[in-house]
């Protein structure tokens, strides 16, 4: 009976080839691509950072509140927080909207060489919220 157990043990411990190990070691390019695709999807939790003024739509040129605008994915990957914005009206327009199937989905702000959106400025901390650890 002992020999039977040993034989079973030997069968399960066959020499494995490196074919299965190649997928475990991802390249830097693949990891970066994965990070950028997560970034393009947006944050999972909405942060309560107040908007710092209106932002210009890169399609129509009108100014809207920053939180009411959408960002083209390729521009978000390139420019992150400073990406160009498109208003809801231009994005969902039934004739020439950005979201239509037949339309070009590259950023119109980048094509027009428009300046990037200024980054959000964090408000200064409240002195009551600061905890002094020294002394």
Q: What is the tens place of the pLDDT at every residue in 60-91?
A: 999 998 888 999 999 999 998 889 999 999 99
> Contact, 69 vs 57, CB < 8 A?
yes
pLDDT value for 38: 66
Under the banding of pLDDT at 50, 70 and 90, the label for residue 27 is low
42: alpha, beta or left? (left if phi > 0; alpha if psi -120 to 50): left
Do the domain assignments include residue 107?
yes
pLDDT value for 88: 93
Lowest-pLDDT choice from 32-46, 81-95, 117-131: 32-46
Mean pLDDT in the chain?
Answer: 75
Do the domain assignments include residue 34?
no
> pTM value?
0.53
Do the domain assignments include residue 19?
no
* Domain with 108 in it: 53-116
- For residues 82 and 55, give the distance between their C-alpha atoms in angstroms, rounded to a whole number: 11
Q: Which of 7-16, 70-79, 122-131 has the highest mean pLDDT?
A: 70-79
Do the domain assignments include residue 85?
yes
Number of domains in the chain: 1
Do the domain assignments include residue 9?
no
């Amino acid at each position: 009976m002992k020999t039977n157990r040993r034989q079973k043990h030997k069968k399960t411990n066959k020499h494995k080839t490196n074919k299965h190990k190649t997928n475990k070691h991802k390249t830097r390019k693949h990891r970066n691509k994965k990070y950028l695709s997560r970034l393009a999807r947006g944050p999972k939790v909405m942060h309560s950072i107040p908007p710092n003024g209106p932002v210009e739509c890169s399609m129509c040129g009108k100014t809207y509140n920053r939180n009411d605008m959408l960002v083209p994915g390729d521009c978000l990957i390139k420019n992150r927080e400073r990406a160009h914005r498109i208003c809801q009206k231009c994005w969902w327009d039934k004739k020439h909207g950005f979201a239509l199937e037949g339309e070009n989905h590259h950023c119109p702000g980048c094509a027009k060489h428009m300046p990037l959106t200024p980054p959000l400025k964090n408000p200064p901390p409240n002195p009551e919220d600061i905890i002094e650890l020294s002394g």
